[in-house]
Every structure is written in structure tokens, then in C-alpha cells.
A and B are shown apart, each in its own frame.
Chain A
């Protein structure tokens, strides 16, 4: 749960620090920040003048019609794309200044559910789900892998190859892989696109649980029902991409 210091404390640093100490509020430095960001695949920009500060522990939804750049926005957030202009900061580091290895290390603190899942198709599901730990040299922390797989309903499919799975199964596996490192940030691109309502609810419950543990969550989705359900459980804010810009969505959501 996110706690902001009451407005009354103003800019008094000592008072703010005392507030944080009393309420055990973590230092809410932005996890990811975009300043004046624009992005263009070709001559025409797809996104312009995007500003967003993703504070630690916040919960955001991102909506917008197909093709408006939700996935592109997420790719900017985890550094797969570099902004055409403007600045993207991940864990206080400008993406453009980060060395390749620094970006890799930063990604170990981020769980990402890609819209197209992105598996190693020649390796069984369990190995794929464990991959973030393996590449980080944390393969010894794999004890609860089967519990995690069972939790997303894939207990019996540990040895299946990703191409043999259904769309929903792949999405659940992608989510399991995204959370296995217990990342500070979770970025999910249409994680419920192929899931039935029950499974979506389960997934949402996991996201809410992670958010309560202080993780930062950003979910791109078309699913308005999911957003409504979430808003009843957490303080989730909704963003929308319109006219190439990022806006706060209206109160109807």
C-alpha cells in the first residue's frame, strides 16, 4: 500500500522524514520515469511529449485503442527501445547512458510479460519460467518453481515445449516467469488477453498481492472489467494513449 505524506507537511524535509519513519514508507524514488519522451519507428512519431513518473509501489493501467503504442510504451519502460527524443530513467539511470550490462542487471529487477510472450521454444516450460533466475546465476533459488507453476495452473505442463501450449497457457507461463525473481517492477502487456474471467481474476489477485508487497505494477490492457475489478482492490490509476500522448483516463474508469 502506498502512503504519501500529507500535504500539510509541505516541503519540510525533517517532517517528511519523520513521517516516513513512523509509517515505514519506503523512499519513493521513481522506479521508471519518462520525461518529454517521443518515439518514432519511421518518419512519423508514434508517441510525443510523454511524461510519466512511476513511483515505487504504484499501480497503473494503460489503455488505448489497438496500434496506439501501448506495447511501444512498455518497451521504452524496460529499455528495449530507446526514446527518439527525451529521457527515460530506469532506477535512476538514464537509459541512454546505461551500458549493455547495466541494462541487463536492471532488467533483473523488472518482470515483463510480453504481448507475444517470448519463450525459448526448444526448452521445456519449467526451464523457460526459471530462465530469469538462471541467467542471473540464481538457479539455486528454484525450490518453489513447481508451486509457482501449479499456482498459474500449469503444474502438469512443466515439461511441455512452449509452442505446444495454448495462448492462455503461454500467458500464464509468461506471468510466472515475470514474477519468479520477485522483481521490483512488473510490466505486463495484455496479460489477460487470452484468459477466461476466473483466470484473469486470479492473475489480478496476484498483481494486487505483489503491489501490496511494495512492487510497482504497470499493466497494458483492453479489458475494462479487469480495470474495474482492480480499482475495487487497490489504488490503481489508469492512463490512456490518445493523440500520441499519454493522458490520465477519465473518471468513467
Chain B
């Protein structure tokens, strides 16, 4: 495309304002696409984290008098061992329980002396287990055991986050489509405005590819320039958003993390490709109709 042969760049007269419009359009579109990308990435992170919590874990809490604790814990583990859909069940040690509580009560909490419930971590497998059935069996075998399948209430949220991610991705595609449409219109306008130039070039023996290249080159470069600026401003705007809360926060925040900051840099290149294809199609379409 960028083959250098003579005044390819100049054979089409410069038209100031349409040049600016193409860059502007590409810039705005990519600016918006950066947000759509951030949205879809953030939603993706959210969905993944919630999905993980949901698919893997449930907790069984056993609150029993100290003398029955050992017995009921064993009973619960026995029940779990014969429950379909349970991959692993494990009673947390005192040490682990202490670690869990440390953020709330400090590290030197005397766990042994407190009537703390025993926690059993259940990891589910495959489709998961039947929570209601398990609950009934537990109440029969170990009256102090309570199944806390806290993950369940997150199911709709996981779905919502997934949809949000999809929305972001579809938005990026739509923005790309809108940009292709606008650049096609701009290219057609430029081709119409330069009908006489095209006629002269044809008469002196220029091939369609040569003529098209002049337009394609120009529109691609304009789109790339605008899109580059759009991406920079979009990334700045994302960076200036209120900081994302750290792990565990309900909202992970709209933004990029780590390597994700490289992703929006691909948008100007995608915009240039869109401009290239759109202008090329428009040019060859138009040229085919000329003598």
C-alpha cells in the first residue's frame, strides 16, 4: 500500500475539512471503543472471579458444644464423602481459622479458648451437589451443621457480568462498523469530488489499483492519526477514573490492569485496517462504474 512511486500522495488534491472529519470520526470512535474495551475487560474479570467462587466453594459451619464437636465434624465429613458432586471436603485447622479471623480480631486471638464454630471447606465437582438434599441429611446426622452455599446468590451476578462483557464486545464491533460506514461515506464523497482527477488518470493509463491507492493511503493514514489520538485520550480518561477497589470489593472498577493496558493500543491499528478495507472497497466499487 505504501509503495513509493511518484506523486501518488498528491495526485488527489488535498481537501482540508474532509481530512479533518475522517480523523475526528476515527478519533471519537476509538475513544469510545477504549471505554467499551475497559468495560468488557472489567466485566470479564468480575464474571471470572464470581464464577470461581461459585463453582468451587461452599462452607459448612458446625456449631456444637465442645465435647460433641469432634463427633459432629466426623459425621459431616462422612456425609460429604458419600454426597455426589462433592470433590473434596476438609475441616479447616485451628491455624487456618485463626488466619481467617486475624483481619477482624488481630493475630493473637486465642482460638482454642473461644467457642468458635468449626469450618469445613467443600469443593464441588462437575455440576455441583444438591444443596437441599445435603441440608436434610446434615440436619439428621449433625444437628449443629449449617450449609452456607454463599456462592449461590452470586449466580445472577455472574450472568449479569457475562452479559456486560458481551455488551462491551458488541459495542466495540458496532463502533467499528459505524466507523467503517462513515469512512465509506467520506471516501465516496472524496471519489465524487475528484471525478475529473480520476478521469484524467484513467486517460493517461493509470490502473485502478494505482488510483485507489492514492485514496486508500490517505484515508488509512488519516484514520490512523485520529485513532491514535483517540486511543491516547481514551486511555488517559480511563486512567483518571476513580481508582479501582482492591480485591474483594464489590466493584472492581472500570479500568485496565497490567498487560491489559496494551490492549487499547491495538485499537488504532484495527481502525486503520477498517479504514483501509472500507476505502479500498469504496474506491474499487466506484472505479468499476467509470469508463
B31 CB to nearest A CB, Å:
33
Beyond A118-B200, A123-B7, list 12 extra A-B contacts (CB 8 Å).
A82-B291, A104-B205, A105-B207, A108-B205, A119-B200, A120-B11, A120-B200, A132-B205, A134-B6, A135-B210, A139-B5, A139-B6
Residues of B within 8 Å of A32, CB to CB, are none
Tell me, in angstroms, the Cα distance from A177 to B196 when the chains sit together. Answer: 17
A-side interface residues toward B, CB under 8 Å?
A: 78, 80-82, 100-101, 104-105, 107-108, 112, 114, 118-123, 127, 131-132, 134-137, 139, 177
Tell me, in angstroms, the Cα distance from A134 to B3 when the chains sit together. Answer: 13
Partner of A123, one of B11, B199, B205, B291: B11
B13 at the interface (CB under 8 A from A): yes
Query: Once the chains bind, are B200 and A104 in contact (CB under 8 Å)?
Result: no
Tell me, in angstroms, the Cα distance from A121 to B196 when the chains sit together. Answer: 10
Query: Once the chains bind, are B204 and A131 in contact (CB under 8 Å)?
Result: yes
B5 CB to nearest A CB, Å:
6
Query: Once the chains bind, are A132 and B13 in contact (CB under 8 Å)?
Result: no
A-B contacts, 18 listed (Cβ < 8 Å): A80-B203, A100-B207, A100-B287, A104-B202, A104-B205, A105-B205, A107-B202, A112-B203, A114-B203, A120-B11, A120-B200, A120-B201, A123-B7, A132-B205, A134-B5, A135-B206, A136-B205, A177-B204
Tell me, in angstroms, the Cα distance from A134 to B200 when the chains sit together. Answer: 13
Query: Once the chains bind, are A104 and B199 in contact (CB under 8 Å)?
Result: no
Query: Once the chains bind, are A135 and B201 in contact (CB under 8 Å)?
Result: yes
Tell me, in angstroms, the Cα distance from A146 to B199 when the chains sit together. Answer: 26
B266 CB to nearest A CB, Å:
34
A124 CB to nearest B CB, Å:
10
Partner of A101, one of B13, B200, B207: B207
Tell me, in angstroms, the Cα distance from A121 to B209 when the chains sit together. Answer: 22
Partner of B5, one of A101, A118, A119, A137: A137
Count of CB-CB pairs between chains A and B under 8 Å = 62
Query: Once the chains bind, are B203 and A118 in contact (CB under 8 Å)?
Result: yes
Query: Once the chains bind, are A107 and B291 in contact (CB under 8 Å)?
Result: no
Tell me, in angstroms, the Cα distance from A19 to B176 when the chains sit together. Answer: 69
Query: Once the chains bind, are A122 and B203 in contact (CB under 8 Å)?
Result: no
Tell me, in angstroms, the Cα distance from A118 to B197 when the chains sit together. Answer: 9
Size class of B's contact patch? 20 to 34
Q: Provided the pairs A81-B291, A123-B11 are in contact, do residues A132 and B204 lie with their beta carbons within 8 angstroms?
A: yes
Tell me, in angstroms, the Cα distance from A5 to B150 when the chains sit together. Answer: 105
Tell me, in angstroms, the Cα distance from A123 to B7 when the chains sit together. Answer: 10
Residues of A within 8 Å of B288, CB to CB, are 100
A250 CB to nearest B CB, Å:
33
Residues of B within 8 Å of A104, CB to CB, are 202, 205-208
Tell me, in angstroms, the Cα distance from A184 to B140 when the chains sit together. Answer: 105
Tell me, in angstroms, the Cα distance from A135 to B204 when the chains sit together. Answer: 8
Query: Once the chains bind, are A80 and B200 in contact (CB under 8 Å)?
Result: no
B214 CB to nearest A CB, Å:
10
Tell me, in angstroms, the Cα distance from A132 to B11 when the chains sit together. Answer: 12
B10 at the interface (CB under 8 A from A): yes
Residues of B within 8 Å of A119, CB to CB, are 200
Tell me, in angstroms, the Cα distance from A104 to B6 when the chains sit together. Answer: 18
Tell me, in angstroms, the Cα distance from A176 to B5 when the chains sit together. Answer: 21
Tell me, in angstroms, the Cα distance from A122 to B9 when the chains sit together. Answer: 13
Query: Once the chains bind, are A107 and B208 in contact (CB under 8 Å)?
Result: no
Query: Once the chains bind, are A107 and B7 in contact (CB under 8 Å)?
Result: no
Query: Once the chains bind, are A122 and B291 in contact (CB under 8 Å)?
Result: no
For residue B13, which residue of chain A has the nearest CB?
A122
Query: Once the chains bind, are A107 and B11 in contact (CB under 8 Å)?
Result: no
Residues of B within 8 Å of A139, CB to CB, are 5-6
Partner of A120, one of B197, B287, B291: B197
A208 CB to nearest B CB, Å:
24
A93 CB to nearest B CB, Å:
15
